[in-house]
């Protein structure tokens, strides 16, 4: 039985709390490792080490910090297969999907190579008589991130890469369900030239989270996970005077207009709804065809595609479409919600309840499900299922369709499939959702734009990656300077005004 560790001060450190969590193999249901769960004291020690290392790192000029990111990109590409395999083994997603997880994190690291430009301030000469004024962006100090199981490579890099490029130290508390890749990333960062203590990985559960929330040294916290936990972390972190950004749940709608290419729409829905077993905050979980004729044509296209999906372990080859969900509890919750959909009157067009995979009967595999004729008062519509379940809600008009997405409490991502430019433009302008796709099912922005939803999908003012990340991980300081040649004798007792 492998026993994992924390990563503190440039070394793997055994846990001392005496508490451990099982790291499962989702394909077999077997325990494959144990991960230590940090105590409050262990978190405090990691923060202390980070605080000691951070000032010297902040004093390194941005170009040299960027060179660490350049080397890190090289190492990520070198170890891509190794990282993907470790990720698939603990999470369950397919190897191509796992490599994509690493790649989308890598792209944010590439953006952070531009730190020297992104950290430039502003300057005004002669703002007043003999007065110059300039601003600078400075590191916060020690920052922290609490990341989810579903993207154990991408989301940690979305957080720690810009934080570290800005001159901060970073405490990463990854999911205890798949902790190996975050530990590997910390090793690679130091191989790239990052000083010891700047990136710390502390594994844990709620005790570690609360220790981060209440630690006086930690200046900012990033979080991705469920909305109830996002609300808790945001409220508690802000109450403790921290800068906090939290990203919560989602229920992403894809509107299919009558003029859409139905084959293209069906292909998009299958990939976006069932990829990664639906365990994505940007997964399309609700299809909204406009008009019964459109709905009938869409269902006709979807059913054979869904029935042909290949479900299996990542070891079965690159043609596997999706693997198991992450835990037995997740599987049970998905099955509960499917039954709720049936009980509340939705039509189960594709029934995956009896799915069994020979040789993997104890794994957490869930067959694909497709509901039709669901309504907005049903639990399968209101709740985030986070599984391979696509729900179809028929709308009789474009206005009804857009109203469904706008009225839902979540506002992470959405999409519309249409050939009509006016409709697409109206949708993009009116929809109260943070990320919008036009004939693009999963509109995750590239690294140089920002990622973030609206409504109950986000808590905080700034998005992840892109320019917002460099704002989130720095403070602005403004300096007003006047040199002796411009100083007049005598004090001034009224508020200064420009002459």
Angle of helix 80-91 relative to helix 180-191, nearest 10 degrees, comes to 160
Q: Is 238 considered catalytic here?
A: no
Q: What Cα–Cα distance (Å) separates residue 379 from each residue in 275, 276, 345, 375?
A: 22, 22, 11, 9
In this structure, what are the phi and psi dihedrals at residue 253, rounded to the nearest 5 degrees? -95, 145
Query: Measured at the alpha carbon of residue 460, what is the angle toward residues 48 and 91, in degrees to the nearest 5?
Result: 70
User: Helix 154-165 crosses helix 95-112 at what angle (to 10 degrees)?
Assistant: 10
**From 112, 166, 246, 281, active-site residue:** 281
Give Cα separations from 298 to 15, 264, 310 (angstroms): 53, 10, 21
Is the alpha carbon torsion for 222, 223, 224, 228 positive or negative? negative
How far is residue 335's CA from residue 327's CA, in Å, rounded to a whole number?
13
Q: Determine the Cα–Cα distance for residues 279 and 385; give it in Å rounded to an integer.
A: 9
* Angle at CA of residue 355, ends 353 and 361, nearest 5°: 120
Non-local CB neighbours of 430 within 8 Å, separated by 6+ positions: 402, 406
92 close to 26: Cβ distance less than 8 angstroms: yes
Tell me whether residue 306 is exposed, middle or buried, using C-beta atoms within 10 angstroms of its C-beta: 0 to 12, 13 to 18, 19 or more.
buried
| Adjacent-strand bridge partners of 121 | none
Residues tagged active-site: 281
């Amino acid at each position: 039985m492998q026993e994992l560790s924390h990563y503190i001060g440039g070394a793997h450190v055994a846990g001392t709390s005496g508490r451990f969590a099982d790291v499962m193999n989702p394909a077999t249901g077997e325990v494959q490792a144990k991960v230590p769960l940090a105590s409050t004291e262990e978190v405090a020690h990691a923060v202390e080490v980070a605080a000691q290392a951070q000032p010297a790192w902040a004093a390194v000029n941005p170009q040299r910090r960027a060179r660490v990111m350049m080397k890190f990109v090289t190492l990520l590409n070198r170890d891509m297969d190794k990282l993907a395999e470790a990720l698939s083994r603990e999470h369950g997603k397919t190897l191509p999907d796992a490599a994509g997880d690493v790649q989308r994190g890598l792209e944010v690291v590439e953006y952070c190579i531009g730190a020297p430009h992104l950290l430039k301030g502003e300057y005004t000469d002669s703002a007043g008589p003999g007065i110059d004024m300039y601003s600078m962006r400075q590191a916060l100090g020690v920052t922290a991130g609490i990341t989810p199981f579903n993207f154990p490579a991408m989301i940690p890099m979305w957080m720690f890469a810009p934080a570290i490029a800005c001159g901060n130290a970073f405490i990463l508390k990854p999911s205890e369900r798949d902790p190996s890749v975050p530990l590997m990333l910390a090793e690679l960062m130091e191989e790239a030239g990052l000083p010891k203590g700047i990136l710390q990985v502390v594994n844990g559960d709620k005790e570690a989270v609360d220790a981060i929330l209440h630690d006086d040294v930690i200046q900012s916290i990033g979080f991705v996970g469920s909305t109830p936990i996002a609300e808790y972390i945001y409220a508690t972190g802000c109450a403790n005077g921290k800068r906090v950004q939290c990203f919560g749940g989602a229920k992403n709608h894809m509107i299919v207009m009558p003029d859409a290419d139905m084959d293209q729409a069906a292909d998009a829905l299958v990939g976006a709804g069932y990829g990664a077993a639906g365990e994505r905050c940007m997964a399309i979980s609700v299809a909204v065809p406009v008009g019964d004729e459109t709905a009938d044509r869409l269902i006709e296209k979807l059913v054979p595609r869904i029935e042909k999906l290949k479900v299996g372990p990542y070891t079965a080859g690159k043609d596997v479409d999706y693997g198991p969900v992450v835990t037995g509890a997740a599987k049970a919750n998905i099955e509960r919600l499917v039954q709720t959909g049936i009980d509340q009157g939705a039509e189960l067009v594709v029934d995956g309840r009896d799915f069994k995979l020979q040789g993997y009967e104890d794994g957490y595999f869930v067959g694909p499900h497709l509901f039709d004729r669901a309504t907005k008062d049903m639990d399968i519509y209101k709740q985030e299922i986070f599984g391979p379940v696509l729900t179809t809600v028929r709308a009789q008009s474009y206005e009804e369709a857009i109203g469904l997405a706008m009225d839902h409490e979540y506002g992470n991502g959405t999409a519309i499939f249409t050939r009509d430019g006016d409709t697409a433009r109206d949708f993009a302008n009116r929809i109260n959702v943070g990320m919008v796709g036009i004939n693009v099912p999963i509109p995750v922005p590239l690294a140089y734009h920002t990622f973030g939803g609206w409504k109950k999908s986000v808590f905080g003012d700034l998005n992840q990656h892109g320019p917002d990340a460099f704002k989130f991980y720095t403070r602005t300081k403004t300096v007003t300077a006047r040199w002796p040649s411009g100083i007049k004798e005598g004090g001034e007792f009224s508020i200064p005004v420009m002459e």
